[in-house]
Amino acid sequence: MNKPIFKCSDISKTFTQGKNKVEVLKGINFSLDKSSRVAIIGPSGSGKTTFLNILTGLDTPSEGKVFYNNEDLNKLDEKQKAIMRNKEIGFVYQFHHLLPEFTAIENIALPILIGGLTKNKAYAKSLDLLKRVNLENRANHKPSELSGGERQRVAVARSLSNSPACLIMDEPTGDLDSNNARLISDVILELVEEFKISLVIATHDTSLSRRMDKTFELEIN
């Protein structure tokens, strides 16, 4: 039996707003197996984004522990967490977060360059990823010159730039019309299957969540 890539034990998260304390997550237990696909569902305000941030070390839980490949994230410093995210985890958000001054291929190449690959190799890999999302003819276009669906496909390609073991996606189809949402969903699932990558995806899109191996529901406390 495969050991889980991610394992969360009794995760809780409380935010302080003035004199009030708001408990967003309480007693969450979660695990993600290798090459499995999990949808995180729940109403707005149930803590989906907070949970994803805790899962990847961008935020810390008020209580509980998160393990990545059996390593306690609470014991890693910020530099170690950043290296883990760069090398092991790909991100896609509802809003693409592409750098506006860079072209599509430059946006994809940037994390590869940060990871230490040469410029020629980084650009060759970036172009290959653009081909996989059918955008090689848009390689030298900046985000402002791309449609919403095209920008999100570039974001998907960028998330795969360092050959991650896991993709974390926060409402990747939430800002798209139904046709583009279906296209992006197809691209994501095809690439996840091809590269044997684990996937955690927070979504309100029931047609997408039904295509996952399982769903994990968060409720408003």
What's the confidence (pLDDT) of residue 96? 67
Predicted confidence (pLDDT) per residue in 43-58, tens digit? 888 888 899 989 888 8
Please provide the average confidence, as pLDDT, over all residues in the chain. Answer: 86
Helices (H), the chain: 48-55, 78-88, 104-114, 119-132, 148-159, 178-195, 206-209
Banded model confidence at residue 114, pLDDT cuts 50, 70, 90: confident
How confident is the model at residue 117, as a pLDDT? Answer: 82
Tell me: pLDDT of 138 over 70. yes
Q: Beta strands 71-72 and 63-68: pairing type? A: antiparallel
Report, as an integer, the average pLDDT of 17-34.
87
Cα maximum dimension of the chain = 54
- The pLDDT confidence band at residue 105, using thresholds 50, 70 and 90, is very high
d(CA 211, CA 38): 9
Query: Would you state the pLDDT for residue 221?
Result: 63
Q: What is the pTM of this model?
A: 0.83
- Specify the pLDDT at position 39: 92
pLDDT 10s digits, 59-68: 899 999 999 9
- Ramachandran region, residue 196 (left: φ > 0; alpha: ψ -120 to 50; beta: rest): left
- What value, to the nearest 5°, has the Cα angle with vertex 167 and ends 122 and 154? 50
List the domains of the chain with CATH numbers. Answer: 6-217 (3.40.50.300)
Residues 55 and 66: beta-carbon distance below 8 Å: yes
Write out the two tokens for 117. Answer: 């690959």
- Indicate whether 178 pLDDT > 90: no
For residue 41, pLDDT over 80 is answered with yes
**What is the spatial distance between Cα 74 and Cα 88, in angstroms, rounded to a whole number?**
17
Q: 141 pLDDT band (50/70/90 cuts)?
A: very high
User: Do 130 and 161 form a contact (C-beta atoms < 8 A)?
Assistant: no
Strands ordered across the beta sheet of 63-68: 20-32, 6-17, 63-68, 71-72
